[in-house]
Amino acid sequence: MRPVEILLVEDNPGDVRLTIEGLQEARVYNNLHVAQDGIEALGFLHREGLHSEAPRPDLILLDLNLPRKDGREVLAEIKADVGLRRIPVIVLTTSQDEEDILKTYDLHANCYVTKPLDFEQFMHVVQSVEDFWLSVVTFPPE
């Protein structure tokens, strides 16, 4: 069985590291790819430039506050693209703003998860996302 391909769109190196560590303990074999801003995320998804060999991700973990192109715009572009909109997008952010929550569901984010500041809780959240999305949910077939 091929690994589950995950694209993490996150500019904070500490959060990237914690997410990698959390996913390493996953029971499901996965490959994590990291894009550090919104432009790079879309470049990866459209296999542009450096990303010409990029796999199509099965799951996208998307931060909202990103340099160059905001996560909200990235989400809107993914969900407006017939070729990409099926890929589940999990918004993973420190924002607890009700407006962000509503707006991202309006833009068809698959779910909205807030990043806890506490280390243990952060790991718990990453592992819960992994457990639910990689072992309970059925992904769209290729």
Which residues bind to another protein, rule: CB under 8 A? 79, 85-86, 88, 96, 98, 101-102, 105-106, 108, 110-114, 125, 128-129, 131-133, 136-141
Cβ 42 to another protein shortest distance, Å: 19
Cβ 24 to another protein shortest distance, Å: 19
Task: Report the residue number, 29 or 139, with the smaller CB distance to another protein.
Answer: 139
Cβ 107 to another protein shortest distance, Å: 10
Task: Report the residue number, 9 or 129, with the smaller CB distance to another protein.
Answer: 129
Measure CA of the first residue to CA of the last residue in the chain; give whole Å: 14
Task: Report the residue number, 65 or 128, with the smaller CB distance to another protein.
Answer: 128
Structure tokens at 116: 């806890």
What does DSSP assign to residue 28? S
SS3 sequence, 33-83?
EEECCHHHHHHHHCCCHHHCCCCCCCEEEECCCCCCCCHHHHHHHHHHCCC
Cβ 103 to another protein shortest distance, Å: 9
- Find out whether 93 and 104 touch, Cβ atoms under 8 Å: no
Distance between CA atoms of 68 and 89, rounded to whole angstroms? 19
Task: Report the residue number, 36 or 93, with the smaller CB distance to another protein.
Answer: 93
